[in-house]
Structure 1
Amino acid sequence: MTTGRPTRARTHRRVRSRAARVLLSLVAAVAVLGIVAVVAVPLLRPAGPRPLFQLPVTCGERWQLGTYPGHDDYDVDLFPTEGEAWGRPVLASYAGEVTEAGINGSLGGRTPEDPDGPRGRGGGYWVKIDHGGKWETQYLHMLEPPLVRVGQRVAQGEQIGRLGSTGDSGAPHLHYEQRRGWDKVETWFDGTASGITHDDREYTVRRTSGNCP
């Protein structure tokens, strides 16, 4: 005959089951907090000192750097002051690890053989490099697939591609950005600010590349 009351053994099993569930919940919570810490703590750290970035073009060459209304703050377009623009070497501004190398948006159809072909979207062939200390550089509108791959370490001055007009580009040039953490910032070259900040007016400056071996 049963009385409807739980036996002592069943009561102990229920207690152990509840304790096990509580323990598993605590373990899961600790694991989640650990993952959050691994992801969030590096993001909360301040950026390291600015690397000594150089112009992403051949040593000794003189280039025009510019922006224009609607171009976006701090973005820089680079054009050579002499010679053909198509196919010029694009160099890493500073040593680092490649984090993007491929197509941003769509390519379009502008080539040296058809410079007035259809525009694409976005940055076309592009590369992004992580320089450590939360500093990054980006290189857009290159002529052909990048010469580097994701995960590759590159040295300052190493060629990463060739100048072109893929993506949303009206003429062969290099679109270039420097970023600190989540923020795009004014570009500095060889320890000197470029002066290209806001895009509220047309602005150009000429600089000579110190990206030398």
Structure 2
Amino acid sequence: MLGRVTTGHPASPPARRPRNRTLRVLLALAVVAALAAVAVAVTPLLRPPGPRPLFQLPVACGETWQLGTYPGHDDFDVDFFPTEGEAWGRPVLASAAGTVTVAGINGELGGRTPEDPDGPRGRGGGYWVKIDHGGRWETQYLHLLEPPLVREGQRVAQGEQLGRLGSTGNSGAPHLHYEQRRGWEKVETHFDGQPSGITTDDREYTVRLTSANCPG
């Protein structure tokens, strides 16, 4: 019985499909692009913070304000209350020049207003603003009376008005909740190059400081 007759030449391999090769190339390029994007986003976060900006009190030049904290407020959080005059509607100013990264609502607004100061509390920080000052330094301004006067992406100068003092969010009375952050960490606030003295929240205590957030 005769076996299968061959020509003596190996069979030709099946032709590769150009489409498969193109898909592999595109997939490899997508992976490289994704890794590059991650590197661009992560690298600035790994750099050490730059020098502390010369922050000023976020209130008008020459005014004296009470800065305070209390148990459960969180370390380094500062509440601002004016020592004279009406609190509602006072200007809230940028502590240093920078770029607005958040300008909106944190949590729920609640219903406390100058007309109804004992209205229902909200949640979180209410109307608020966050500013990037460069070098991984940020400031935050919470419980504003109404929508901020600035918008995300806007460049602001030191002393520029961000909004007005109020009691939106989880707030018992009109005041400004303020924070300074270095990288991901909250730190003790400094004003005009000096530490504020508001550090831990192990007890209730206050200090009084006068603003040097002055034009020019």
The TM-score with structure 2 as length reference comes to 0.90
CA RMSD of aligned residues (A): 2.0
Q: Give distance in 2, aligned partners of 1:115 and 1:45.
A: 45
1:154-203 Cα offsets, whole Å, 9 max, x none, are 10000110001010000000000001111111100000001111101112
1:114 and 2:116 matched: yes
Alignment identity in percent?
78
The residue number in structure 1 matching 2:141 is 139
Alignment of 1:189-204 (within 5 A): 189-204=191-206
Q: Which runs of 5+ in 2 are unaligned?
A: none
Equivalence for 1:29: 31
* Equivalence for 1:149: 151
Task: State the distance in 1 between where 2:129 and 2:155 align.
Answer: 13
Name 2:169's counterpart in structure 1. 167
**Shift of residue 64, structure 1, vs aligned partner:** 0.3
| Residues paired across the two proteins, number | 209
Aligned partner letter, 1:193: P
What's the secondary structure of 2:143's corresponding residue? strand
In 2, the alpha carbon distance for the partners of 1:6 and 1:132 equals 67
1:92 CA drift (Å): 0.4
Q: In 2, distance between residues paired with 1:38 and 1:2? A: 63
Match of 2:160 in 1: 158
Partner in structure 1 of residue 99 of structure 2:
97
How many angstroms apart in 2 are the aligned matches of 1:108 and 1:146?
16
CA deviation map 1:77-109 (0-9, x unaligned)? 000001110100000000011111111111111
Structure 1 pair 203–19 and aligned structure 2 pair: CA distance change class (3 A): same
Find the aligned partners of 2:126 and 2:110 in 1 and give their Cα distance: 8
Superposition TM-score, scaled by structure 1 size:
0.92
> Structure 1: where are the runs of 5+ without partners?
none
Larger radius of gyration: 2
Distance change in 2, residues 1:6/1:100 (3 Å)? farther
What amino acid sits opposite 1:126 in the alignment?
Answer: W
Relative to 1, partners in 2 of residues 1:25 and 1:61: Cα closer, same or farther, differing over 3 Å? Answer: same
Q: 1:28 deviation in Å?
A: 3.1
2:56 to 35, 54, 57: 54
For 1:153 and 1:184, how far apart are their aligned partners in 2?
23
Residues 1:7 and 2:12 aligned together: yes
After TM superposition, the structure 1 stretch with the greater mean CA deviation from structure 2, 75-84 or 23-32, is 23-32
1:23 is displaced (CA, Å) by 4.1
2:132 and 2:31 map into 1 onto residues whose CA distance is 32
